[in-house]
Amino acid sequence: MIGQFGIARATLGLVVVTLLLCLVIGCGNRGGDVERRFLLVGLDGLEWSAVEPLLEKGRLPNLQALMDRGVWCRLRSLEPKRKSPVIWTTMATGKLPDKHGISDYFDPTTKKLLTSNVRSARTFWDILGERGHTVTVIGWLVSWPAEEVNGYMVTDYFRYPPKPDRPLPEKLTYPDELLAEIEPLRVVNKSIADSEVERFFNLANAMSGEEAQRLPVAEMFREMRAISDLDGHIEQFKDFFAADRTFMAVAQHIIRKRPTDVCIVYLRGTDSVSHKFWAAGWPGDVGVEVAETDLRVFGETVERYYEYADEMLGELVAEFGDGATIMVCSDHGFEGPRSPNERGGIKDHGPLGVFVLAGAGIRSVGEIEETSVRDITPTILELFGLPIGDDMDGVVMMEAFEEGYLRAHPVRKIPTYEIPEEEK
């Protein structure tokens, strides 16, 4: 018969063994997790050849501040070239399209839009939420219909206002009741005054009709067409601007009113303005004639929008608070020409995007070796001390981490995070 002292000694021994096991393999759902606040800002299509001159001139101070206290590199996109929904889904899952199921905007066979319920791989925010980290996801491509998360989701479709022939779809947000709360924050094209976008254009420099008529005939027609298109270009710009304004307003609202451990904000404007106005800023790149009117009016539009994107980044960093780990990334860059038949010689996706990371456990050494969009999810999991799925196609960006951090949180592996069909 064991006495009380023997029971106590045996119990103490069991506790010690249990604690040792926890230290080695982790206990429960949160074994090995790192508690941190994490902000990811996705800036679609950010191109290094545009970023670097602006950094040198001090025109992107918020991005520069992160680069100065962290690491940065060229982020290789998918090859052969893929559309943005495919790339952002790879970034969210650590898996290539054959594993995550998003191959384009539309299914090539059915021509139906590919949506989140087609995606066949789990996202890093789902994995983090399962481990108890609260998350906010705003605007990420292929996030509609909204999925249940441990926090809040505002899908990419939220930016589109209802129309008589296009009512709002269901599942724009998670939870559903969040929609009514943020509905007033949606910015629409018609609500944007010309004065709000004047900073992006040089309208006063536009060629006049009288000036165009003094040109040789071919040039005259090119300029007259460009002059007549000015209002349409600006209206299209307002669409891009409204989308980013919408998701910024939503992000700021949720950060203030419903703060979470993790906040993920996707902004598309840097991509949209590049597709539309790159030729005016870099006419020598595109291989086609660019109207003088476009050069005068839109020649600085891309650079000025990059400055605006930097301002948005600064606002998000300030809102999210001190001590957070910050990641900035783009899915691709730009290169051209896309096609000689394209108006303005719009540039196409380039192979290298932007990656910047700063925060606790991250080295402050500046540039590191080029890495891949496939490595975003594995690196985020390592930030939180979580194992990497063996079935992921990406790897941890080891060069980004301090040696002490990696000693305390060595990279671990598990077979998969996917849930078998019979358990769903």
The model's pLDDT over 10-42, given as tens digits with 9 standing for 90+, comes to 344 433 333 333 333 334 344 568 999 999 999
**CB-CB contact of 233 with 298 (8 Å):** yes
- Cα torsion angle, 85, 162, 316, 378, sign: negative
pLDDT of residue 11: 40
Q: What is the pLDDT of residues 51-110, one digit of tens each?
A: 999 999 999 999 999 999 999 999 999 999 999 999 999 999 999 999 999 998 888 778
pLDDT at 7: 37
Q: Considering the entire predicted model, what is its pTM?
A: 0.90
Question: What is d(CA 344, CA 286) in angstroms, rounded to the nearest whole number?
Answer: 8
| Domain annotation covers residue 215 | yes
Rounded CA gap, 32 and 26, in Å? 5
Please give the angle made by the CA atoms of 55, 57 and 61, to the nearest 5 degrees. 50
Burial 346-357 (b: 16+ CB within 10 A, else e): bbbbbebbbbbb
Residue 110 lies in a domain: yes
Token couple for 366: 């500046």
- Whole-angstrom distance, CA of residue 380 vs CA of residue 326: 11
Predicted pLDDT at 283:
87
Name the phi and psi angles at 137, rounded to 5.
-125, 125
> Rounded to a whole number, what is the largest CA-CA distance in the chain?
111
Position 16 in a domain: no
Q: What is the CATH number of the domain that holds 186?
A: 3.40.720.10
263 SS3 class: strand
Give me the pLDDT at residue 165, please: 81
Flag residues of the chain having pLDDT under 50: 1-30, 345
Distance CA 253, CA 239 (A): 21
pLDDT for the residue 10: 39
Q: Which pair of tokens denotes residue 176?
A: 């559903």
Give the per-residue pLDDT at 15.
37
Q: What is the pLDDT of residue 254?
A: 98
In tens, the pLDDT along 222-255 reads 999 999 999 999 999 999 999 999 999 999 999 9
Confidence (pLDDT) at 309: 98
With contact defined as beta carbons under 8 Å apart, do 212 and 316 qualify? no
Whether 233 is covered by a domain: the verdict is yes
Residue 283 falls inside a structural domain: yes
Tell me the residue range of the domain where 363 lies.
35-423
Q: Check residue 64 and give its pLDDT.
A: 98
Contact in structure between 309 and 270 (CB atoms under 8 Å): yes
Identify whether 398 is part of a domain: yes
Question: Which of these, 281, 332, 275, lies nearest to 303 by C-alpha position?
Answer: 281
Q: Are 337 and 345 in contact (CB under 8 A)?
A: yes
Count of domains forming the chain? 1
Report strand pairing: 325-329 vs 38-43: parallel
**Is 24 contained in some domain?**
no
Residue 42 φ/ψ, nearest 5 degrees: -95, 120
Tokens representing 363?
């080295």
Strand 371-372 relative to strand 333-335, pairing: unpaired
The whole-angstrom distance between residue 196's C-alpha and the CA centroid of its chain comes to 24
What pLDDT score does 420 carry? 85
172 found inside a domain = yes
Structure tokens at 171: 């599942």
